[in-house]
Amino acid sequence: MDARLSQDPFAEDRPSTVPEISIVIPTFNEKENVTELVRLVTAAMTGVRWELIFVDDNSPDGTARAVRELAAADGRVRCIQRLGRRGLSSACIEGMLSSSAKYLAVMDGDLQHDETLLPMMFDALQSGDVDIAVATRYADGGGTGDWDARREQLSRASTGLAKRVLQVELSDPMSGFFAIERETFLGLAPKLSGVGFKILLDLFASADPPLRVREFPYEFRSRKAGETKVDGMVALDFITMLLQKRIGRLVPPRFVYFCLIGGSGLVVHMLTLWLTFDVGGVAFAASQAIATGVAMVGNFTLNNLITYRESKLSGLDWFRGLFLFCLACSVGAVANVGVAAYLHGEGTLWLLSGLAGVLVSTVWNYAATAFYVWRVPNSAR
């Protein structure tokens, strides 16, 4: 029998539609931009078999619906819609994992990235001389368009920090526009932290040996429709990633935030106690109870905003979460007192007994709330 037939009996019937490159587009509220994006990519990528994979985090403006309409008219367009999750990096990772093309690219969905670079980036990868092609704003011929001075400064400062802490030699390590061979990406994927915006930095920080890179300067375009999602939380995402790369194997960054917030809860508690008891003249036991309540609500609110910002609870879920949080922490408090009292009874120094109690309850509170309140399956992240 013909060897080729025995391997793939349908080879003859199959048109050559398999994409050579998948372009992954993370989107959140980009409905006004996706049609134009498909048009521009189509125009830029003539002669290449491409596909566009939009990864939308259930945008309230209906981006996913708009993408599906485009996909219904053009089989090269696909939509992955994620429910109950947010995050640029994790969206890009999932999009790339869903591809079986030999090459992958990641590009923003708001038309700020110059899609006419794509064919050159694709060629560079195909030549085999580079592992990754990166579009950069900070090399000759590139620029940040109409960014204001503050944003420009912030970006340059974090670029410098990233270069120093992670020893990455890139003119624009925060770029969200790059192309990479799928096999290279798959090798790195398990090591990625997946937090925040900095997918490229994450890839470089995870690569050993270092990736061979070629940079492609371009001028960042200004946004015409929709708005940026880059806000103060991005700085936090950035710090989280540095923490993850440096100490993540020992202590999850989330645990660090949880403990810091727990510590701030003590300050809130003492302030409230002072206000109610000392200033307000409320009975001590009542004051202590009020202070405990305020600290718990404060801790829950901060953890919801910071530690679990990617699975933030709102509306009714916020109240259900608060209830479960208080319940879990009450169990933690009982364990705390139990362990401390036991150790003290066995003759351990009061200071050590007390600390052991706090440690046990902190770890319990962290694990229990990650699982029951924010429903994070892998609390190590």
Whose tokens are 């019937």? That residue is 13
CA proximity to 267, closest of 296, 300, 303, 295: 295
42 is a site residue for ligand GDD (CB under 6 A) = no
308 is a site residue for ligand GDD (CB under 6 A) = no
Largest Cα–Cα distance of the chain, in whole Å? 95
Task: Give, as ranges, the residues between 80 and 119 that touch ligand GDD (CB under 6 A).
Answer: 86-88, 91, 108-110, 112
The minimum distance between CB 215 and ligand GDD, in angstroms, equals 15
The minimum distance between CB 314 and ligand GDD, in angstroms, equals 15
> CA-CA distance, 17 to 175, in Å (whole number)?
30
Taken as a whole, the chain contains a residue count of 381
55 is a site residue for ligand GDD (CB under 6 A) = yes
Residue 362, judged by CB atoms within 10 A of its CB (0-12, 13-18, 19+), counts as middle
CA proximity to 176, closest of 144, 143, 134, 146: 134
The minimum distance between CB 109 and Mn ion, in angstroms, equals 8
Indicate the residue among 173 and 357 with the shorter CB distance to ligand GDD: 173
The minimum distance between CB 235 and Mn ion, in angstroms, equals 17
Task: Give, as ranges, the residues between 109 and 168 that touch ligand GDD (CB under 6 A).
Answer: 109-110, 112, 155
229 is a site residue for ligand GDD (CB under 6 A) = yes
Q: Give the residues across from 104 on adjacent strands.
A: 22, 180
Task: Give, as ranges, the residues between 99 and 118 that touch Mn ion (CB under 5 A).
Answer: 110, 112
299 is a site residue for Mn ion (CB under 5 A) = no
Distances (CA, A) of 146 to 112, 221, 223: 11, 8, 9
Residue type, 207: A
Helices marked H in 99-167? 118-126, 149-166
The minimum distance between CB 27 and ligand GDD, in angstroms, equals 4
Give the tokens for residue 307.
Answer: 């530690």
- State the DSSP code for 171: S
194 is a site residue for ligand GDD (CB under 6 A) = no
Indicate the residue among 57 and 181 with the shorter CB distance to ligand GDD: 57
> CA-CA distance, 233 to 221, in Å (whole number)?
23
Contact pick of 38, 174, 180, 236 for ligand GDD (by CB under 6 A)? 174
178 is a site residue for ligand GDD (CB under 6 A) = no
Query: Which positions touch ligand GDD (CB under 6 A)?
Result: 26-28, 30, 55-57, 86-88, 91, 108-110, 112, 155, 174, 176, 197, 228-230
State the residues that interact with Mn ion by CB under 5 A: 110, 112
